[in-house]
Amino acid sequence: MKLMHDGLKDFLLLEEYIESQKIGFISLEVPLPKWILNFSQSLKYSIGLQIRREYRHISMGLRSLRFSDVDTIFIFELYNQHLLFVMPLFAIISLLGKKVLICLHGNQQFAMTNKIKFWGLLYLKAYLNLFKKLKVISFEVDDDVLPEKFRLPDKSKYIIPHPIISEAKPKFLPGERLPSNVPIKIGVVGMIRLDKPITQVIDKLQEYIKSSEHQCELVIGTPFEQKPNYLDKLNVTLYDTTKPEDYIHILTEINILVIHYEKDRYYYRTSGVISDAGSCGCYIIASDYPVIKHQVSWPEKIGSTFSNFNEIYTLIDEAIVHLGEKGQDNHWLWREGRSAKAIAKVLFPDNYRPKNKSN
């Protein structure tokens, strides 16, 4: 199954830890019919994009109706502005006795700055209030950190940690430590977009490396097809992370990841890069927002957060001390609390089985 967010694919393992329950998984990422593709591409890009997304949402609802032998429908993602026709289909499924779980990815965050997305959130909230088997899944922390009008009904939501990537593992086993004669690799990784303003972070990291008593190396990993030209002018090591395996490889090699996000995009939204980096054993230094702070501190501390760029120097020093004393020990414990097994216990408490069915 193709997913919009590859970091969520461990949800596909949930069924291994529950009994007497079958799950039907639905993603927006499905091939489009040629006629939809041709028609939408003949229009202005922004209009064509919305047509393709609307088609995917309706298709997702219709596909959900075809699951006759499952107890739960698991929806990986949806957009607030495309709920008009798909929510009635999910309601029908719930009336047939099936639970519908809908993953939210910044849906409430984006509703705070966009009227259409806010109306979509209100539409979603209405359905959650009307149909008790419709549920949403939010990541990390409850939405009580948001103004009340952006919150969703308590009885209709599950709060779970962002899942790990189970096949991506820290480089060092518990008890192992980074050799003292090896440079500390400090990295900036991921797609560099407007909501990830990274220039100031890179400047601070370069200043830190020049003045620090520690032997450090700055590494930047980003898809080269989307790489800003100014990166080529920096005196740093660049890696192409277009391929998933290269992306995971560089995260495994990096010791400390530093990342900054804009508040109006990530105040109440998880970071996929942070989750992936934690899975790979990176100590993470990131923006101080409620969801991200929980990501790097629960169930074990694997990072820290900053409110202004001047804190980065001190936090890197603390990170280096942490790596020397604890290595990646905390990461292994952090992974346990974010595994499919741990999440299954939250989503399916009555059907949870602690041992994998294959064991």
Note the pLDDT tens digit of each residue in 101-119: 999 999 999 999 999 999 9
Question: Residue 194 has what pLDDT?
Answer: 60
Q: Give the model's confidence band at 356: pLDDT under 50 very low, under 70 low, under 90 confident, else very high.
A: low
Q: What is the pLDDT of residues 335-354, one digit of tens each?
A: 999 999 999 999 999 999 98
Statement to judge: residues 194 and 153 lie in one domain: no
Q: Which residue has the tokens 């101080």?
A: 288
When pLDDT is cut at 50, 70 and 90, the band that residue 197 belongs to is low
pLDDT at 200: 83
In this prediction, residue 97 has a pLDDT band, given cuts at 50, 70 and 90, of very high
Q: Omega of the bond prior to 228 within 30 degrees of 0, cis?
A: no
Do 64 and 35 touch, CB atoms closer than 8 A? no
* Count of domains for the chain: 2
Distance of CA 280 to the CA centre of its chain: 14
Instruction: Tell me the residue range of the domain where 249 lies.
Output: 184-336
Does residue 49 share a domain with residue 194? no
Domain presence at residue 1: no
Report yes or no on 356 lying in a domain: no
CATH code where residue 247 lies? 3.40.50.2000
Q: How confident is the model at residue 228 (pLDDT cuts 50, 70, 90)?
A: confident
* This prediction's pTM: 0.93
- DSSP letter at 18 equals B
Verify that 138 and 278 share a domain, yes or no: no
Of the candidates 85, 148, 150, 92, the residue with the CA atom closest to the CA atom of residue 117: 150
Do 222 and 311 belong together in one domain? yes
3-state helix, strand, coil in the chain (%, to 5): 45, 15, 40
Say yes or no: 253 and 156 in one domain. no
Which residues of the chain form beta strands (DSSP E)?
Answer: 23-26, 72-75, 99-103, 134-139, 157-160, 184-189, 216-222, 237-240, 256-259, 283-287, 303-306
- What's the rounded Cα separation, in Å, for the pair 49 and 154? 33
Assess if residue 56 is contained within a domain: yes
Q: Which two tokens stand for residue 263?
A: 């508040």
Residues 31 and 67 both lie in one domain:
yes
81 and 204 share one domain: no
Is residue 359 pLDDT above 60, yes or no?
Answer: no
Count CA atoms closer than 13 A to 193's CA, side-chain side: 7
Q: 10 Å Cβ neighbour count for 12?
A: 16
Specify whether 109 is located in the same domain as 214. no
Task: Check whether residue 155 and residue 14 sit in a common domain.
Answer: yes
Backbone angles phi, psi at 283, to 5 degrees: -80, 135
- Rounded Cα–Cα distance for residues 123 and 117 (Å): 10
- Are 247 and 298 within one domain? yes
Residues 343 and 274 in one domain: no
Whole-number Å distance between alpha carbons of 340 and 332: 14
CB within 8 Å of 235: residues ≥ 6 apart: 206
CA distance 292 to 307: 12
The strand pair at 23-26 and 99-103 is best described as unpaired
Q: Is it the case that residue 292 has pLDDT exceeding 60? A: yes
In this structure, the answer to whether residues 322 and 245 fall within a common structural domain is: yes
- Joined together, the tokens standing for residue 210 give 């020049």
- The answer as to whether 174 is a domain residue is no
